[in-house]
Structure formats: structure tokens, C-alpha cells
Chain A
Amino acid sequence: MLNRRDFLKAGAGLALAAALPARAAAGTAHVVIIGGGVGGATAAKYLKLYNPALRVTVIEGNRTYIRPYGSSEVLTGHVSMDDLNVSYDALKSKYGVDFVFDTVVGFDPARKLVRTAGKQRIAYDKLIVSPGISLQYQAIPGYSAAVAETRAPSGWIPGSQTALLAKQLKAMRPGGSFVLVAPPAPYRCPPGPYERAALVTEWMRRHNPTGKVLILDPKDSFVTDATMQLGWHRLYGYNIPDDYLQDMPAGVKNSGKPSPIEWVRAKDGGTVEKIDARSLVVTTHQGEVRADVLNIVPPMKAGKLAFDMGLTDASGWCPIDRRTFESSVHKDVFVIGDASIADAMPKSGFSANNQAKVTARAVVDQLAGRAPGEPVWENTCYALAGPDYGLFVADVFRLKDGKIARVPGERYLPLDASMAKIRLAAAYQQAWLRTFTEDCFA
């Protein structure tokens, strides 16, 4: 494993004839993108839309993208693992984006070169890095990448762990406990862990009716918490905590009977201290819990590549210029998506998609010698409390006093929304998964 200095050294001394040239012909600038996820793909497509004459190269390790958004639906069998696959063919054939399926092992910001494991040297005029997240398994004593692959999957980056989790859920003994350890902020996809818990609860109601879902949380709240809990209450008889109950519509009353889904917040001792991978016993501030299936969403930081390239700060995320997302560390290098420090913008696919567009426009402007225009971003995501129960968060973001701020206003499904609206929101969530994927990759 290269440390950061070796990583930069591996990039240094690259120069010379073997490099893929940046400006091949007069005026043909080369924009290189590291990472073919939502951020990188959207950036590639929109760079080509804004200026078809640009050369755009995406360096990505996997030949097929596995989408994390909506991946919890694999656990319930609503979709299969194959359904999560997204092809890069459209980006190649429709927009003329070049792909290098390889990993980056060297970086020379002075000479504007990156080097791949396959010994390619790629020169750039502008570099966009969209490295996603790295899961900090080791932050939870007793947890590790190896444990996640074999025993207590995370599945927060989809793949074999998602498939394992689905398998474990199906094989869970009747009356067993599905324990989900939620992450501390900031993390990818704020409503995600709670949507997963909800979908698993609904599935268990049909396949394991005496089973239970327990969320252990180092936090006391989450984005969409009020609407999500109201959904749990209506669908699964969840008992809403007092501090949320007071804002609920009239007539919402807890039965007091045990519910198949429970949320243990930090204030109630939900913070996890350690896990025992063999016994699946989880030790929290409150006490011990034995899981039959243990799904841990660990603390997160920027993807490892961001660290290797020196793009991160002490927080473990990447500081950027808010207007363009140009790195505060390296000129002509931009960081978008989960890895970036984007103030009020949540870490989500939608945010990455919007950041990619603003950054693509800024890169095109910079290459043309224009000042970048005024940016605007959105994050409008649907989530589910059940297969027919939709909810959402909807924000518009602007630059305000040098930071990215939410335009004030309502952001959630109203608590008194009708069932017609809730059903529509669930249908729209399914549609959105498709339209979103198309906007990023096709």
C-alpha cells in the first residue's frame, strides 16, 4: 500500500514523451475525470454537452457501475443485484467520452499528470476527482473490512456485501433481530439507513412476522426523521418518541404495544462501543444487543484516493472553492460528490449530480477564459418508509456569504399529507431512480 508521499513520487518524474498529451491539437483541451460514479459520469456527460470539442477521459476501476441509490431494494427482493448494474456504453457511444478502466497510483499536480496501475501516464488540463467515500470500518472496535465481507456486511458501497446481507436476511431464524448500526454525520445518503430499516421491516412482516428491526444510532435525529417515523407508525405500529409526537397531526397516538421496528437514539444509549464479530453481540452505551443479522453503516470519510492525492484536510473530507468546487489544495483539480466539503449540501447522489454540472460548466468557462457564472444546486430525493409510502427532502442551494446555503422554506413532505400524495410520492420514487440514472449515465 503506497503512502501519500510515495503516491506523489510515483506521479513525479512522469513527464516526457510517454505521457498521453493534454492539448493534443491546438485548442483541444483534455479534461480527465477520476471516478466513474454519479459525480464523475455526470461531469463527463455534461462537459461534452457544454463543449463537444473537449477531450474527456474517465479513469475508473470497474467496467460496470453498481448503483448504491435504491440498492436497499435488493434486500427485499424488489430488484436483483443485476438491476443495480449501469453500463458506461452510452457515455462512450453517445457522447464520445473515453474510458480508461484502471486505478490511479500516481499524481503530479505540478506537471498535471496522473499515472495508472497499468502504467499509463495521462496528462490533463483540468482534473475532476469524484472519489466517493471510504468506509472507516476500523472506527468501530471489533469491525473491519474482512468482517464486513464475511460476517456483518455494510453494503453501503454496493456489491458482494449487499448480496451477502440479502442472503443473511432470508436465512434469518424466525423471530430474529436485524440490527442496523447507523453512522455519525456526515455520511452518504442521510435518509438511507432509515429507508433500509423500513424496507426490511416491511419484508419481515411478510416473511418473518415475529422478527424485529433495531436501529442503533450515535445521533438523535436525521434528515426526514419526522416523516419517516410517521410512516413507520402508520405502517408498522412504531411508537413515536415524545419530542416528535408533539408535532404530529392530531389523532396520531402510540399504541404502546411493542413494534417490529425500534430506533435507539444516542440520548437513549444507542451509540455503539464495540462489536463481537463471532457472536454478533453489539455493545452500546445502553447495554448489550445480540443480532441475528448485523448491518453496520460505519463512519465515513472521503474516498482513499482523495487522501493519496493530498486533497483532504484534517476532517477527512476535501476543501473546495464553493463557486466551482476547485480544490483548495491543488490548482486545476476539482473535487465533487460525497468527498467534497459542500456545507449545507447533503452527501447524496443528487448532490453529486448537480455539483458535477456546475463544475463542468465552470471548467468549460475556465478553459475558455471566462469567469464562472453564478451557481445553483438542488437536492431533491425521494425515499420510502414502505413500498407504497413515499416521502422526500427537497432543497435548493445558493452561494451566500461565501458558503453554500439552503434557500429557506419547507423541505419535507408535510406531516398532514394525504395518503394519495404519499402513494404518488412512492410511485415517483421509482420513476426518479430511472430518470436520475439516465441523466447521469445516458
Chain B
Amino acid sequence: MGSLMKIWTLSFAALAAAFTPAHAAEPTGRAMAAPAPTGEAMAATCAACHGTRGKLGTVEFVPLAGMPETEFVRAMRDFKSGKRQSTLMGHVANGFSDSEVRAMARYFVNVK
């Protein structure tokens, strides 16, 4: 790896470490230390149903763009626990930790 690349990687890692619980570069074997994807990266997995960047017309699914953070977090929490019924949202919510859900909420509320 060239020295420039090394500098970039170290800078990025330092920056990421300020926001994520562990080193952002390589995944470790321990699940606890696995770094988190960005809110945007996680939100991208939602787009196939909830619209690119959470924008939808009057289709059957819920648009997420601009959704208040508390609404998003509560919905995912209630889906995960089964308090709120769903077809597959309970399964999907199960795949994300609470802090990851908050990161996604923060991403969506800022989508105009």
C-alpha cells in the first residue's frame, strides 16, 4: 500500500473511531467489536421497498424520507419486539442494533 493510501486509511480510521465503537478498517472475529456501517449504507438496504433515499409516492409501503427520528426508532423497536405486527419488518429490524437504528433514523430525517 502506498504511503498516501496509508495516511488516508489511518485518518479515516481515526475519524471513524470517534463515531464507532471499534476500529473501522478490518472486521475482527468478535461480534461485539464489529464496526457499524454508516446510516446511509444501512438505509440503502431499505430502498428496494421504501424508495430510493426513502422517497415513495402513494405505494403501499411507508415513505421514510423526512420521518421524525422518534417515529423511526419507535417503529423499528416495536417491530423487533413484535409489539407492532408486520409481515417481514420484524425480521429486518432484528438485523440492526439500537445504535444502528438511530443512525438510520438520523439519515432519513435529513432526506428532503
Q: Which residues of A contact B (CB under 8 A)?
A: 45-46, 49, 350, 353-354, 357-358, 361, 369-371, 373-378, 380, 382, 390, 392, 394-396, 398-402, 407, 409-411, 413, 421, 424-425, 427-428, 431-432, 434-436, 438-440
For B45, the closest partner residue in chain A by CB is A378
Bound Cα distance A137, B36 (Å):
43
What residues of chain B lie closer than 8 Å to A375, measured between beta carbons?
Answer: 37, 41
CB <8 Å contact, B94 and A373: no
What residues of chain B lie closer than 8 Å to A374, measured between beta carbons?
Answer: 20, 24, 27, 34-38, 41
- Chain A nearest CB from B7 CB (Å) reads 9
CB <8 Å contact, B87 and A377: no
A-B contact pairs, 20 of them (CB 8 A): A354-B48, A357-B47, A371-B13, A371-B24, A371-B25, A373-B41, A376-B37, A398-B34, A400-B27, A409-B95, A421-B87, A425-B88, A428-B61, A431-B49, A431-B59, A432-B49, A435-B48, A438-B51, A439-B52, A440-B48
10 closest A-B pairs by CB? A396-B95, A394-B91, A431-B60, A394-B88, A378-B45, A409-B94, A407-B95, A374-B37, A376-B37, A357-B44
Bound Cα distance A375, B25 (Å):
11
Bound Cα distance A392, B92 (Å):
12
CB <8 Å contact, B60 and A376: no
Residues 86-108 of B, flagged 1 when their CB comes within 8 A of A and 0 if not, give: 01101110111000000000000
- Chain B nearest CB from A400 CB (Å) reads 7
CB <8 Å contact, B8 and A370: yes
- Chain A nearest CB from B57 CB (Å) reads 9
Given contacts A378-B45, A409-B94, A435-B56, contact A373 B88 (CB under 8 A): no
What residues of chain B lie closer than 8 Å to A425, measured between beta carbons?
Answer: 87-88
What residues of chain A lie closer than 8 Å to B56, measured between beta carbons?
Answer: 435
CB <8 Å contact, A413 and B44: no
**Chain A CB within 8 A of B42 CB:** yes
Residue from the set B38, B87, B96 with the largest chain A CB neighbour count within 10 Å = B87
- Chain A nearest CB from B74 CB (Å) reads 20
What residues of chain B lie closer than 8 Å to A46, measured between beta carbons?
Answer: 44
Bound Cα distance A427, B60 (Å):
9
What residues of chain A lie closer than 8 Å to B20, measured between beta carbons?
Answer: 374
CB <8 Å contact, B91 and A377: no
CB <8 Å contact, B29 and A428: no
Bound Cα distance A410, B52 (Å):
26
CB <8 Å contact, A373 and B37: yes
Bound Cα distance A395, B95 (Å):
8
**Chain A CB within 8 A of B32 CB:** no
CB <8 Å contact, B24 and A394: no
